[in-house]
Copies of this chain bind each other. A is one copy, B any other.
Amino acid sequence: MNGACPTPPDVSSGQKAAAALVTSLQGARSTPGFRPGWPRGLGRQFCRAASRKRRQSQATLSLLRESKGPTGICSIKGKRNQNLRGKLQRAGRNMSPKITTELLRQLRQVMKTSKYVTEPIQAYIVPSGDAHQSENIAPCDCRRAFISGFDGSAGTAIITEQKAAMWTDGRYFLQAAQQMDSNWTLMKMGLKDTPTQEDWLVSVLPEGSKVGVDPFIIPADQWKRMSKALKSAGHVLVPVKENLIDAIWVDRPQRPCKPLMTLDLSYTGIGWKEKIAALRAKMVERKVLWFVVTALDEVAWLLNLRGSDVEYNPVFFAYAVIGTDTIRLFISGDRMADPSTREHLLLDSALEAEFKIQVVPYESVLTELQAICAGLSPKEKVWLSDKASYALTEAVPKAHRYLTPYTPICIAKAVKNTAEAEGMRRAHIKDAVALCELFNWLEKEVVKGSVTEISAADKAEEFRSQQNGFVDLSFATISSTGPNGAIIHYKPVPETNRALSGNEIYLLDSGAQYKDGTTDVTRTMHFGTPSAYEKECFTYVLKGHIAVSAAVFPNGTKGHLLDSFARSALWDCGLDYLHGTGHGVGCFLNVHEGPCGISYKTFADEPLEAGMIISDEPGYYEDESFGIRIENVVLVVPAKTKYNFCNRGSLTFEPLTLVPIQTKMISVPLLTQKECDWVNDYHRKCREVIGAELKSQGRHEALQWLIRETEPITKMH
């Protein structure tokens, strides 16, 4: 799954607009994007209820349009040109704006109601995210979509007494324009004449205005920028404790509070006590007294617990505050009543005081943190991620604040220990078995004309769910054939659903959560005879995939230095792809995680280290025609080299994904001998490892398919 792939806001092609349509049609809601260091607003931004119900997407559509007005499809079609209409139809979007007049009236009412604000505010900002800066957010957190109707992954709404404006990027210009009614002004970010939120506010606000925002939802760095700009123009940014959208959202869904799952040492390799001890060692090293865990996957990893509060990510709503001799876990509901959880966390055991976990309600994190800070002596520090919310950051007085872009948990979590790496290996073997079954099934069924993108995705999920330890998908399956494959974040819905055939390229980007680990794999197949051009493009992508996978590089190298390796073969022919090459992958956690990755965008990535796991997924997309992507999840491992400059040591990658790469798609003469050898070595390993597993699972037909698909290729001399 391509998560390292920001579609640059300044490159807004029809393809991307169509992708955005598809995304939104499927029930995308506002999300703040991927947390640490990753570009915001990527990936799968779907609220569970909608995304799983793609077969009933008409119903979903009605739901989304519950406030829809008279403006219908016809008028939209009438306004657009042929090409765009084609895309809209292909993407299956029948969009109509949400009528927000009444909602905005109510919001403006509460903006001056003393129950909610001490003094009336003249503007209210509604950002995309939740309080944990999660990539996927729960339905109860989709506030920006509720107030505006615009449910793309990225956007900020600002409502003043007279106006309502929405800032979003090039991916969503069309979608936002369609989903919002005339109460809203669309602010197209990246265009020259679009004002920033700050400049716009300054231009429309009466003198000495107050601008409100929920301090839990705005990250501290954004607050700082906005506050400074407003202040210099004579206004003031104020935190509004109660969320004003919640105040008017009568049927707002409950915050999810699903049961927890405990993970024992065979999965985690390290007990939670040990993890906390290691964290405390880091705290001593940095001379901090307290550490506040705000990211959901960091809480889950630290305590060896998993949940299902947020879609696709096995996390649960919680905070943790770690002191040098105390542990506070902020979590709601009766989840701590479960005996296995109590046992796992040793809640009823006699144990060292410093490992005694105090369970505190989720909502009390702010007051507890304030109480902690009130007791600090001078020079005593509290460690937070610099992505934490303004509310929690502000609770720590400046002199006591210690902020870093990556927390020690984020960095420790990225480097998988032996048990985790073994778990990831097992997960990928099971995942490969499922995919061998799927591809074998597809080969037989596609010719009959009865397989569609949706039924193929369903079948993939069916085969995966047969595997031991299967928990869930790790993201919404991208099952796309022909022109749909060129829509990078495509997900099939009935309106766009296309039958697989022997005449088109099929791209499947999918993955699952197993109790052992998380998978993410893309294969591009042809079930008939690919054209020479399709094979040529596929081979360039494969060359890029191999160039990264086989790269040897010194310890301490950052991932962004490898990005061009993936593109070089495409560049030579004037081709390229507009997304990054790789993202960190969690172990039975988020399929996108920091702090490492491979991208032409140089975010503050940390150096690659043995034990880190990332994806390697170059692609090529031909608008209106086809999409190609070849993705493996790879483990960073030490490399043996002839020399060892400065004793630095070298690293390379070991593919964890072991699914055949369709040799039919390869134009072998374009490969070097080394690249041929790589393909043959890779397929030998697939045959050995996955073959053995298929055999032991008694999946003989899939085994035959695997053996056929892993025949060596030969370069003629």
Contacts and interface: CB of A to CB of B under 8 A. Distances in A.
Interface in A568-613: 568, 570-576, 578, 600, 602
A94 interface: no
Contacts of A11: 646
Interface stretch (A162-170, A273-281, A298-306, A546-554): A546-554
Contacts of A662: none
A39 to B, nearest CB: 16
Given A561-B564, A571-B553, A576 B641 contact: no
Contact of A574 (B13, B572, B644): B644
A639 B573 CA distance: 10
Nearest to A560: B602
Contacts of A564: 553, 561-562, 564-565
A570 to B, nearest CB: 8
Contact of A571 (B554, B560, B602): B554
B571 A650 contact: yes
A684 B643 CA distance: 34
Given A564-B561, A564-B564, A565-B564, A571 B552 contact: yes
A560 B600 CA distance: 9
A6 to B, nearest CB: 15
A177 B551 CA distance: 42
Interface string A688-706: 0000000000000000000
B575 A645 contact: yes
Interface string A523-555: 000000000000000000000000000011110
A560 B568 CA distance: 14
A437 interface: no
Nearest to A640: B574
Interface in A35-77: none
A648 interface: yes
A444 interface: no
A642 interface: yes
Contact of A576 (B554, B574, B639): B554
Given A552-B572, A572-B552, A641-B573, A561 B648 contact: no
A643 B551 contact: no
B563 A565 contact: no
Nearest to A643: B574
Contacts of A552: 571-572, 574
Interface in A635-657: 639, 641-646, 648, 650
A198 to B, nearest CB: 16
Given A574-B642, A574-B643, A574-B650, A600 B561 contact: yes
A11 B672 CA distance: 37
Interface in A174-188: none
Nearest to A558: B600
B574 A645 contact: yes
A642 B573 contact: yes
B554 A568 contact: no
A581 to B, nearest CB: 12
Nearest to A399: B232
A646 B553 CA distance: 32
Contacts of A672: 672
Contacts of A561: 563-564, 600
Residue of A552, A568, A571, A600 most packed against chain B (CB within 10 A): A571
Contacts of A639: 574
A23 to B, nearest CB: 21
Contacts of A576: 554, 645-646, 648
Contacts of A571: 551-554, 650
Contacts of A573: 641-643
A557 to B, nearest CB: 8
Contacts of A565: 564, 568
Contacts of A643: 573-575
A398 to B, nearest CB: 10
A648 B575 CA distance: 9
Nearest to A573: B642
Nearest to A11: B646
A426 to B, nearest CB: 31
Contacts of A642: 573-574
A644 B570 CA distance: 10
Contacts of A645: 570, 574-576
Given A564-B561, A565-B564, A568-B551, A641 B574 contact: yes
A226 B247 CA distance: 46
A575 B645 CA distance: 5
A605 to B, nearest CB: 10
Contacts of A574: 552, 554, 639, 641-645, 650
Residue of A563, A565, A575 most packed against chain B (CB within 10 A): A575
A233 to B, nearest CB: 12
Nearest to A575: B645
Contacts of A562: 564
Nearest to A570: B645
Nearest to A572: B552
Contacts of A650: 571, 574
A553 to B, nearest CB: 5
A448 to B, nearest CB: 35
A571 B646 CA distance: 12
A672 to B, nearest CB: 8
Nearest to A717: B717
A229 to B, nearest CB: 14
A572 B641 contact: yes
A667 to B, nearest CB: 13
12 contacts: A11-B646, A13-B646, A553-B564, A554-B571, A561-B563, A571-B650, A574-B642, A574-B643, A574-B645, A575-B643, A578-B646, A672-B672
Given A552-B574, A575-B643, 18 more contacts: A11-B646, A13-B646, A551-B568, A552-B572, A553-B571, A554-B571, A560-B602, A561-B564, A561-B600, A572-B641, A574-B644, A574-B645, A574-B650, A575-B645, A576-B645, A578-B646, A602-B602, A672-B672
Interface of A: 11, 13, 551-554, 560-565, 568, 570-576, 578, 600, 602, 639, 641-646, 648, 650, 672
**Ranked 8 nearest A-B pairs via Cβ:** A574-B641, A574-B643, A602-B602, A573-B642, A575-B645, A561-B564, A574-B644, A576-B645
